[in-house]
Amino acid sequence: MNKVKIHFLGASGTVTGSKFYLETPEQNILVDCGMFQGVKELRELNWEPLPIDASKINCVLLTHGHLDHTGYLPRLVKEGFKGDIIGTPPTLAIAGIILRDSAKIHEEEAERANKEEYSKHNPALPYYNHKDAEKTIGMFSYSEKDEWIPLSENIRFRFRYNGHIIGATFIEVDLYGKMFVFSGDVGRSEDLLLFPPERPEWADYLFLESTYGNKLHPEEDVENILAELITRTIREGGNLIIPSFAVERLQSLMYLLWKLYQENKIPNIPIFIDSPMGNNVLSVFETYPQWHKLSIKEYKAMCNHFNIITSYGDTWKTIDDPRPKVVIAGSGMVTGGRVLTYLKQMVDRTSTTVLLVGYQAEGTRGRQLYDGAHEIKIFGKYIPVKATVKHLESLSAHADQNELLHWIQKIKNIPERTFLIHGEPASLDAFRVKIKTSNGWQVHVPHLHEVVELSL
C-alpha cells in the first residue's frame, strides 16, 4: 500500500489562495500556488510560511495563470522551493505577466505607504519584488495539453483544456493507478472567446471548484445593457468605468464593444483600455491562436478600434478629457491597478457609472461597491460614492452550478471522494448537498490546512 497525504493549503472554505499538496513516496507535488485575496484575515495568511517544507516539493503544476492560483510562487521560491513550475505555454505566459505586474504593484504600494505613512509597518516592505518574480519565472517549464508527462515510475499527469481563461486546464494526476482530477477553474460552455471546457471521464479522487456552486448565472442581454449604459453616459456627459480582470474579461469586453460598434448598435464613443497587464495579455492571444476562437484578422481589427493607454501620464490625460467616454481598467475586484486612480477622481460624481463585470470576493472594494457602500477607501482616504453601480454577472468566466454539474456528468465511475474547494461557505454547502442528492457521491468540504491521508 502506498500512503498519499493531501494537504489543503488554500482555497479551502474560501475562494482564493489555491494550493493543494500531494505528498507521496515518489514525488511531492503542489497543484497551484495562489495568493489569498479579499478580507484582511485572508490576506494576512499570505505572510505566514506554509506548514510544509517548500524545499521538499519536486514540482508545481499550474491549472492556469490567475493570481489566486500563481501569486504565491515567488514566496514559495523564497521558502526554498527549487523544482520546476509546469503549465501550458499560454498559462506560463499569463503567469509571467501577472507575477511581473503583481511585483510592480507590491513595490508601488510599499513605496506609497512609506511616503504617506498609512501603514503600521515601518518601513512597509513589498510582498515580493521584481527580482523575486524574475527568479520564479526562470523556473517555468511548459507542457502541452493532452500529453501524459511522467514524473516518476508510478506518477504521471496531463493538462486538459478547460476554458475559463486562455491556457487554462484541469489536471489529471495518475498516482499508482488512481486518477486524481483537479478541476482548476471551470470555464463557461458558451464563452465569447474560448472553446467549451473538456470534461473528465474518470476520477477516483475529484477536487472540484465551487465558486458558483449555489448559483445560476442570469440570462442577461449583455449587448443591450452595454448599449444602454453607453447611451446614458453620452446623454449625461459622464464616464462609464469598467473595472476589469486583465485576463479574458478585458478581451471579452473589447470583443463585445467592437462587435456593437460594427453592428451600429453604439456610436463611436472614445473607449480607453488602461491595463498594462491587459495589453500584454492581448499579445498572448496573438501568440496562441489555437487556444481561442478569434481569427488573427478579427483580433487585429478589434485592437485597432480602441485607445490603448501605455503610460501613467496618459491615464491623467484620459481623466482630464472632458468628453463622455468608456474606460476599462484593471483590476476586476478594484483591489489595485489603474482603476483606483479613475475611481478616486470620478466615483464621487453622479454622472459616473461603474460597471462590475465578474465575481467580487468578500473584503474587496468591488464587493463594497456591489453591496452599495456609501464610501470606499482608496490610497488611505475615504471617497464618497455618488456614482451609479451596475453589475453584469453573466460575463463571469466561471461555470455556474448547472455547468459544473454538466462538467462532472461525463465521469463514468463513482469517485471514492469528492472534495469541494474554491468556494465561499454558503456555496460549498449548497453544492455539497446538490451533488450528494443528484449523484449520490461522497462529498467532503475540507478546511484550511486539513490533511487527508489515503492508502492507494
In this structure, the dihedral spanned by the alpha carbons of residues 426, 431, 437 and 442, taken in order and rounded to 10 degrees, is -110
85/92 Cα distance (integer angstroms): 9
For the segment 196-214, what is each residue's pLDDT rounded down to a tens digit? 999 999 999 999 999 999 9
Which of 86-100, 152-166, 272-286 has the weakest average pLDDT? 272-286
pLDDT at 348 > cutoff 70: yes
Burial of 94 (0-12, 13-18, 19+ CB in 10 A): buried
Evaluate whether 272 touches 328 at the Cβ level (below 8 Å). Answer: yes
Please give the domain boundaries of the chain with CATH numbers for all domains. Answer: 3-215+397-455 (3.60.15.10), 222-391 (3.40.50.10890)
For the segment 262-306, what is each residue's pLDDT rounded down to a tens digit? 999 999 999 999 987 788 888 999 999 999 999 989 999 999 999
What values do phi and psi take at 313, rounded to 5? -60, -40
DSSP code string of 57-102: --EEE-S---HHHHTTHHHHHHTT--SEEEE-HHHHHHHHHHHHHH
Model pLDDT, residue 112: 79
The pTM score is: 0.91
For the chain, what is the radius of gyration of the CA atoms?
22
Evaluate whether 104 touches 112 at the Cβ level (below 8 Å). Answer: no
Task: Report which DSSP code applies to 237.
Answer: T
Residues 6+ apart with CB under 8 A from 246: 97, 98, 101, 275, 277, 278, 281, 330, 331, 332, 337
Q: Look at residues 258, 267, 286, 95 and name the one whose alpha carbon lies nearest to residue 192.
A: 258
Residue 216 Cα to chain centre, angstroms: 19
Residues 6+ apart with CB under 8 A from 157: 29, 61, 148, 149, 151, 171, 172, 173, 174
